[in-house]
Amino acid sequence: MEARKVNAGNGWEWIAGGFQLFKKSPGIWIAIFLIYMALSVVLAFVPFAVILSPVLMGGLMLACHEQDRGEELKIEHLFAGFQTNLGQLAIIGAILFAIGIAFTIAMYIVMIVMVVGASVAASGDPASMGAGFMLVIALIMLIFMALMIPVMMAYIYAPALVILKNMSAFDALKASFKACWRNILPWLVYGIIAFVLTIIAYLPLFLGMLVMGPVLIGSMYASYKDVFNIDNADQALPAS
């Protein structure tokens, strides 16, 4: 699939589209979001289980798709990725897991080298060493975040492309990266608006996230439809 370049203002329209999906079935969406978050926390503590994260995200995209087609939203949609293209979705997770491990190892190696260098430069001065350590940590974190940006660009649309368009994991990752690259400006607008709204949602004891969480999920689907120029929500899913 070839992504198109959309206007910067479409970043706001994606969020509005997510809200339109949410308000059709707010109760079910809140339940799906809570289950998804609970599973995400559990997976974070289970070795290698993080590779299943794209499987759940694929289920969320299928939930949006079915609702967009006028079908009834069901909690079971969250687990649809375990029945549709499970292997390809898991491959996406495995690739991201491997990249994360590689980045972490590289980060620690660079940190050790920079810390040793900062210690030598400080010549045993505790104050200088402390400041040097803090600077090293800050630089490492900035580098790590910068390296993760292209990884996230490759991931954003990949689960939707696999579960809704029957693409292979590698093709979906490439298509997702190209789509995000062509639409950096709308994603920038989207990111700023989503950040502000999320901060506001956190204020009332995090209760606002019960709305904002599902809206952000729906906005990802709205973005997918917009960027890949999918105007007909009634199209049938490809055979898996």
- The tens place of each residue's pLDDT in the chain, 240 residues long, gives 789 999 999 999 999 999 999 999 999 999 999 999 999 988 888 878 889 999 999 999 999 999 999 999 999 999 999 998 999 999 999 999 999 888 888 878 877 777 676 666 656 566 666 666 777 777 777 888 888 899 999 999 999 999 999 999 999 999 999 999 999 999 999 999 999 999 999 887 788 999 999 999 999 999 999 999 886 544 555 544
HSE (side-chain half, CA atoms, 13 Å) at 114: 18
Task: Provide the whole-model pTM.
Answer: 0.86
- The secondary structure element, H or E, covering residue 205 is none
Distant-in-sequence contacts of 45-54, Cβ < 8 A, 24+ apart: 48/97, 50/93, 50/96, 50/97, 50/100, 51/90, 51/93, 51/94, 51/96, 51/97, 52/90, 52/93, 53/93, 53/96, 54/81, 54/89, 54/90, 54/92, 54/93, 54/96, 54/155, 54/158, 54/159, 54/162
* Residue 14: per-residue pLDDT: 97
What pLDDT is attached to residue 240? 45
pLDDT of residue 165: 94
201 Cβ partners below 8 Å, 6+ apart?
208, 209, 211, 212
Q: What is the pLDDT of residue 53?
A: 93
What is the model's pLDDT at position 105?
87
Q: Are 217 and 37 in contact (CB under 8 A)?
A: no
Return the pLDDT at 135.
74
